[in-house]
Homo-oligomer: A and B are copies of this chain.
């Protein structure tokens, strides 16, 4: 009988009578179970689990992973728990059913963090206003470029602002936006909400219309792991590969972008920013190529003081720049490193902003930073 019901439901879907979402509900016996459900100041999570003994929930707003909460079995074996809604932000969460991590099958909003997929919870509020779709939306595209330095064809993510296709005479400035270790060319667009943030900032007149280029910063990858492409022989830990990605970024990706998009190919119209490992790439790229970027924003990263660093910072000072914007959370495990770098900037006489937020080494901060520094670029 169950099988016949499923066949009929499929038929209805094929005929356009039911949507896939409705099919889901239909399969549940016609009852519409919703998860997550935000109502007033609380949020309810639900999971149908017929044979489970213990179902728990872990949410990224909890202090640490040992702090799970238990769900209670209800009618029809739908387990649920209602919690006070966490502060406005984007969170990830998962259930743990009899010890096995499970995403929320009722929630189509999923984020990929490296090799893990997690259910997403967006809590509305002032903080998340720019994380939701704007009315005027730019185009996200995924071109491939050849890297001679790495000997591979590699995938990029490129955001062009609303109007790019229509305004065929307009040239745009470019922000190169770099991910951290464990990420790839989809990290900023997925977990970072870059398209939504830029769409909103530009629509509100708060940021200049700009192109955002998000490369893959892992020199051993052609593209995100989801493409199943073989890794290259590049071992980033070997000395001969030191800075290989940073060189490829400046010597290959920047020229590719400037050839294939309508950009203003000048230092005054290039910005570079990156989080964690990408913050390291930002510091290295601006230090090794002081004539390339007028806007430099390392996020949740820093650098120990060294004569080499001093020499690079002096090079940047000599070449001139418009904005040096460093950011870190005050509970970030790299906060000391960021503090040391802030001091190095001061000691070398580089005017800069040091934006210290609450929180740690998390996407909540990187979204906040992008939303905060993007309006400062190209002005």
Residues of chain A at the chain B interface (Cβ within 8 Å): 3, 6-7, 10-11, 13-21, 23-24, 47, 49-54, 64-66, 95, 97-103, 105, 108-110, 112-117, 122, 132-133, 135-137, 139-144, 153, 155, 162, 165-166, 180-183, 218, 223, 225-229, 236-237, 260, 276-277, 280, 333-334, 361
In the assembled complex, the CB of A355 is this many whole angstroms from the nearest CB of chain B, namely 19
Identity of the chain B residue whose Cβ is nearest the Cβ of A122 in the assembled complex: B228
Q: Assembly of this chain: how many copies?
A: 2
Query: Which residues on B sit within 8 Å (CB–CB) of A101?
Result: 102, 105
Query: Which residues on B sit within 8 Å (CB–CB) of A24?
Result: 114-116
Asked if A64 and B3 sit within 8 Å, CB to CB, the answer is: yes
CB-defined A-B contacts under 8 Å, sample of 13: A3-B64, A3-B65, A13-B181, A14-B276, A16-B181, A17-B237, A19-B182, A51-B54, A97-B102, A101-B102, A102-B102, A133-B227, A141-B141
Residue in contact with A20 in the complex, picked from B99, B182, B236, CB distance below 8 Å = B182
Residue in contact with A13 in the complex, picked from B13, B105, B141, B182, CB distance below 8 Å = B182
With A226-B108, A228-B133 in contact, is A114–B182 under 8 Å at CB? no
With A19-B218, A20-B114, A277-B16 in contact, is A103–B100 under 8 Å at CB? no
Query: Which residues on B sit within 8 Å (CB–CB) of A277?
Result: 14-16
Asked if B110 and A334 sit within 8 Å, CB to CB, the answer is: no
Chain B CB count within 10 A is highest, among A23, A47, A137, for A137
Identity of the chain B residue whose Cβ is nearest the Cβ of A225 in the assembled complex: B108
CA–CA, A97 and B109, complex, Å: 23
Query: Which residues on B sit within 8 Å (CB–CB) of A333?
Result: 7, 10-11, 14
Identity of the chain B residue whose Cβ is nearest the Cβ of A300 in the assembled complex: B14
Query: Which residues on B sit within 8 Å (CB–CB) of A182?
Result: 13, 19-20, 23
Identity of the chain B residue whose Cβ is nearest the Cβ of A183 in the assembled complex: B20
Asked if B65 and A6 sit within 8 Å, CB to CB, the answer is: yes
Query: Which residues on B sit within 8 Å (CB–CB) of A155?
Result: 137
Asked if A153 and B137 sit within 8 Å, CB to CB, the answer is: yes
Asked if B99 and A100 sit within 8 Å, CB to CB, the answer is: no
Asked if A110 and B117 sit within 8 Å, CB to CB, the answer is: yes
CA–CA, A348 and B113, complex, Å: 55
CA–CA, A17 and B122, complex, Å: 32
Asked if A137 and B144 sit within 8 Å, CB to CB, the answer is: yes
Residue in contact with A228 in the complex, picked from B51, B109, B135, B137, CB distance below 8 Å = B109
Asked if A142 and B139 sit within 8 Å, CB to CB, the answer is: yes
CA–CA, A361 and B10, complex, Å: 10
Query: Which residues on B sit within 8 Å (CB–CB) of A237?
Result: 17
In the assembled complex, the CB of A117 is this many whole angstroms from the nearest CB of chain B, namely 6
With A14-B333, A180-B14, A226-B109 in contact, is A100–B49 under 8 Å at CB? yes
Q: A49-B99, A98-B100 are in contact. List 20 more A-B contacts (CB 8 A).
A: A6-B65, A14-B334, A14-B361, A16-B236, A19-B114, A20-B115, A20-B182, A21-B225, A24-B116, A51-B54, A51-B98, A51-B99, A51-B100, A52-B100, A97-B98, A97-B102, A102-B102, A108-B115, A133-B227, A166-B260
